Amino acid sequence: MSDRLDTLLHERRTFPPSAAFRRAATVRSKAVYQQASRQRLRFWAAQARELEWDRKWTKVLDWKPPHAKWFVGGKLNASANCLDRHVRTARRNKVALLWEGEPGDRRALTYWELYREVNRFANVLKGLGVRKGDRVAIYLPMIPEAVIAMLACARIGAPHSVVFGGFSAESLRDRINDAEAKVLVTADVGHRRGQLVPLKNNADQAVAECPCIAHVVVVHRERGTTDAGLAHMKAGRDHWYHELMDGADAYCKPAVMDAEDMLFILYTSGTTGKPKGIVHTTGGYMTQALATTRLVFDLKEEDVFWCTADVGWVTGHTYLTYGPLAAGATCVMYEGAPDWPDKDRLWAMVERYGVTIFYTAPTAIRAFMKWGTEYPKRRDLSTLRLLGTVGEPINPEAWIWYHKYIGASRCPIVDTWWQTETGGIMITPLPGVTTTKPGSATVPFPGIEATLLDGSGEEIATGGGFLAITSPWPGMLRTIYGDDARYRQTYWSRWDDIYFPGDGAKRDAQGYFWILGRVDDVLNIAGHRLGTMEVESALVSHPSVAEAAVVGKPHELKGQALAAFVILRSGHQRTGDLEDELREHVVKKIGAIARPDDIIVTAELPKTRSGKIMRRLLKDIAAGRALGDVTTLADPTVVAALKTKYEDEG
């Protein structure tokens, strides 16, 4: 955290919206902030009215801390909001999804076409016995069927649980079992950096230990080619997506859902080894998704909106699927790696589709920077008018690079802070109003109340503290699936009736927020959240490992990388390829995002006299910093020896 503060001090330029941008912007005046803060519920009710409701709510908010109900008594369907209301207008013929596969295959689906696919797949799910309230797991590559499956679930009121395609079979299994999903939707393969990702094989391994799964629907990603043999289909359980779709009716009436009915579960890492199933409901989530899409991205009818996030993360839920489709936008979706076949792939797509709004993560921007300006310079990026970032703090150097080389010093940048738990954007500029400062997510969105508190709940006007959200907001998580006690404990136990996001932040004299990073044992690896405990549990499940301590260390591209310190079981020798074996073991247990950068085999770990591992010192070692206070250590020589060892091996 202190490293970040140092670099922030070097960049002092500020960026007001240009007169031209402001003039055309949806929000042009700061008055929206005063209005929303004076009448917060009225502001959100006005945003909710941008959706189509089957029945209007009777009460905007029912707040019994820590449980909120928004738009009480209101009825609506998320899929109908993303599709039906558009196909009744000229948007029927507008492209909803502009999709590209990594090998270069392309599909464009109009709102009408997407509507038909979703209706048919909703009927397919019904035909497999999925009823309102049943959970459906989705483990797909970035293909249109991922969006179709999500919206089909929403249509029949079956909460979906999307599991990122990069997660391992074991991660998938645990998430399916926790949600007790009845059906799994997957694909034979996906494409990543020229390789085939064997999703169905992973799914088979997972489902073998998922008694709740009755059916597996398999999208034939390689349809028309000869790779069908890649997926072994188990009779009675497994079904090809295209075969089921062939027989499905083209219309499925959307289920009338209560505003507080569950829309989806999305698993995210916490401070224990077990991921949390974050529960989002329908009315409030959709309200915040639509409002933030319209106002933060200044979305206009003619925009081409590209959020590069995978559907496996919340960003892919809110800003690839529900927000922009509820707004009737044209969205770009891409299956593969940004450097395939070359490092200008994304810019080639910006040019090809005339993308106007581009939303990505700082880790990606740092990679673009490293690759060099020749790649964006090869392509015509003049259609871009607004850029966004999300997922981790952006270093001012990356911000300036993004502004200059992608945005041609013309496009405002919205640095948006939010979380899986918040459902939608919380702290962000409004591009026609806010003067931005590189590295700051600026101020809370209208209708959001955030502040900085110290450990005892005292407000900090300027300086550093814990970020806190002081009043409920529509898109907030409602609970942790099956574990309300953990919900209370994790988010609501630090202060009374105030939400604790787990981030440290600084507030400057102008009231701008500067998010510094997590203050708990959660890491942010390339914009993806990972719990140190999860990786430690994965490591100790290896037969050679007795004890493991995992910490984050600064990483030039990924923001943070993993350093793992392991103690071997007695009798286990350190063989030449043990480190690699342990890395692969973690990948198999969790997925490639959890692959540790450094593995240090050690005889001892620095511990306090009461036996607690001093992670603070391990972080110092991994970051190559001078060691902090070692006076409470049981044996101070351990840490000095470890530091030397790390420096030698690193």
Residues that bind ligand WT7 (CB under 6 A): 268, 313-315, 390-393, 415-420, 441, 501-503, 515, 517-518, 524, 529
- Nearest distance, CB of residue 362 and ligand WT7, angstroms: 8
552 in helix, strand or coil? strand
Query: Nearer to ligand WT7 by C-beta: 216 or 427?
Result: 427
Cis peptide before 66 (omega within 30 of 0): yes
Element (H, E) at 178: helix 169-179
Question: Phi/psi at 110 (nearest 5 deg)?
Answer: -75, 170
114 or 325, CB closer to ligand WT7?
325
In angstroms, give the least distance from the CB of 440 to ligand WT7: 9
Given the complex with ligand WT7, which of 254 and 472 has the nearer CB atom? Answer: 472
CA distances, 269 to each of 414, 530, 533 (Å): 26, 5, 9
77/419 with CB nearer ligand WT7: 419
What is 32-72 written as a DSSP string? HHHHHHHTHHHHHHHHHTTS--SB--SEEEEEETTEEEEEE
Cβ contacts of 479 within 8 Å, gap of 6 or more? 67, 279, 487
Sign for the pseudo-dihedral over CA of 107, 109, 113, 117: positive
CB of 377 to ligand WT7, least distance (A): 27
C-beta of 113 vs 503, nearer to ligand WT7: 503
Q: Which residue, 167 or 418, is less far from ligand WT7 as judged by CB?
A: 418
| R_g (Cα) of the chain, nearest Å | 24
Contact 375, 344 (CB under 8 A): yes
CA 162 – CA 76 distance, rounded (Å): 22
**How far apart, in Å, are the Cα atoms of 222 and each of 400, 509, 547, 552?**
41, 56, 43, 38
Min dist. Cβ of residue 365 to ligand WT7 (A): 12
Q: In this structure, are residues 432 and 17 in contact, taking their beta carbons and an 8 Å threshold? A: yes
Nearer residue to ligand WT7 within complex by CB, 174 or 392: 392
Query: In this structure, are residues 179 and 161 in contact, taking their beta carbons and an 8 Å threshold?
Result: yes
Tell me which DSSP letter residue 591 carries. B
Q: Which is nearer to ligand WT7, 164 or 565 (CB)?
A: 164
Q: Taking the complex as a whole, how short is the minimal distance between the CB of residue 501 and ligand WT7, in angstroms?
A: 5
Shortest Cβ 508–ligand WT7 spacing (Å): 15
- Pairing mode, if any, of strands 503-507 and 463-469? antiparallel
Q: How many helices (H) and strands (E) does the chain have?
A: 23, 30
Element of type H or E holding 149? helix 144-156
Q: What one-letter code names the amino acid at 416?
A: T
Closest distance of CB 513 from ligand WT7, Å: 9
Minimum CB separation of residue 522 from ligand WT7 in Å reads 8
- Beta 598-601 vs 59-64: how paired, if at all? unpaired
Residue 313 or 401: the one with the smaller Cβ distance to ligand WT7 is 313
Tell me which H or E stretch contains 371.
helix 362-371
CB within 8 Å of 146: residues ≥ 6 apart: 138, 140, 162, 311
Q: Shortest Cβ distance from residue 510 to ligand WT7 (Å)? A: 18
Minimal distance in Å, beta carbon 504 to ligand WT7? 9
- How many residues appear in the chain? 650
Residue 447 Cβ vs ligand WT7, minimum distance, rounded to whole Å: 18
Sign (positive or negative) of CA dihedral 298, 304, 309, 314: positive
Q: Where are the beta strands (DSSP E) in 302-396?
A: 304-307, 330-334, 357-360, 386-390
Closer to ligand WT7 at the Cβ: 50 or 520? 520
Amino acid present at 276: K
By beta-carbon proximity to ligand WT7, the closer residue of 101 and 393 is 393
- What type of residue sits at position 502? G
CA separation for the pair 503, 19 (Å, rounded): 34
Q: What are phi and psi of 444, to 5 degrees?
A: -60, 145
Nearest approach in angstroms of CB 427 to ligand WT7 is 7
- Looking at beta carbons, which residue is closest to ligand WT7? 420
Which is nearer to ligand WT7, 119 or 420 (by Cβ)? 420
Q: How far is the CB of 467 from ligand WT7 (least distance, A)?
A: 8
Nearer to ligand WT7, 506 or 589 (CB): 506
